[in-house]
Structure 1
Amino acid sequence: MSHGFRQDMPPPGGYESIKYKRNLPIRGPGGVVIFGAVAAVCAFGFWRVGMGNLEKRELQREQAWSRIYLVPLILAEQDRDAYRRNQAALAREKEIMKDVPGWEVGKSAYNTKRYTPSTIVVL
C-alpha cells in the first residue's frame, strides 16, 4: 500500500527566472558627450583668455606710446612751473630783504661757479 507520498515538483512550465541583474534606467548624457562638452568649454575658455591677453597687450602698448608722446609736454609744463616758482621766490626775497643794504636778489649763497639747484621748495 502506498502511503500517498507526494514529491514536491516544480509548477507546470517551471519557475520564473531569478532577477539578479541591475535594471537601472539610463539617465543623462553618456561619458563621451560629457567629455566633449567639457573639452568644448575649455577650448572656448582658452580662446577667450588668448583674446584677453591680446587686448591687454595692445592696451599696454597704447599706454606706453601715449606716455612717450606726453613726455615733452609734461617736461615743458614742469619747466614753466619751476620758472614761475623761481620768479615768485625772487619776488619774495626782494620784498623780504629790501631793507638790507648790499643784498643781491637771486645771488647764490655758495661761493662756486658750479650750478647748485635749490634744494628747498616753497609751496
Structure 2
Amino acid sequence: MRLPAEAVDGTVLIEVVRLSGLPAGRDDPYPGTVAAHWAGSDAAAALSLMASLPGSEQHRCGFSPGWSVRAYDEHLGAALFEAAFCFTCHEVRMRGTAVPPALATQYFDPDSTPAQNLLSLFRGAHE
C-alpha cells in the first residue's frame, strides 16, 4: 500500500476507529468509536505495516469498512489522512489534506501476513 510520504514523516499520533458506517458527507470523517491512540514506536510500526501491505485486485462487496486510522501531526488539527479498510473487498480508501488523488483508492491482499497482523492490531486496540 502506498502512503503519502510527507504525512507519514509528519505523523505523531494515529487514532484507530472501529467504524459504524459511511461518512454523511464527502469531507466528513468515517463515523465510529475511537478504539485506541498509537504514538511513538507504536504509530511508526503501524505505518510500516500499512506500507508493507501487498497489492490486490478489487473484489466487489459494496465497500463496508470495519476499521480506519487517522494520522495526525504535532498540531493535532485536521487529520493528515484517514484510511478506511474493507477486508472483504480488499479496498482501502484514503483521504485528507496530505492525500493525492492517485492514492485515494487502493487494493490490498487481506489474506497476506501484513494484513492479518494489521487486523490483529485493530482487533486488539482499546483505550
TM-score above 0.5, yes or no: no
**Which structure shows the bigger proportion of residues in helix conformation?**
1
TM-score where L is the length of structure 1: 0.17
TM-score where L is the length of structure 2: 0.17
Pair member with larger Rg: 1
Which structure exhibits the higher relative contact order, with contacts defined as CA atoms closer than 8 Å and separated by 6 or more residues? 2
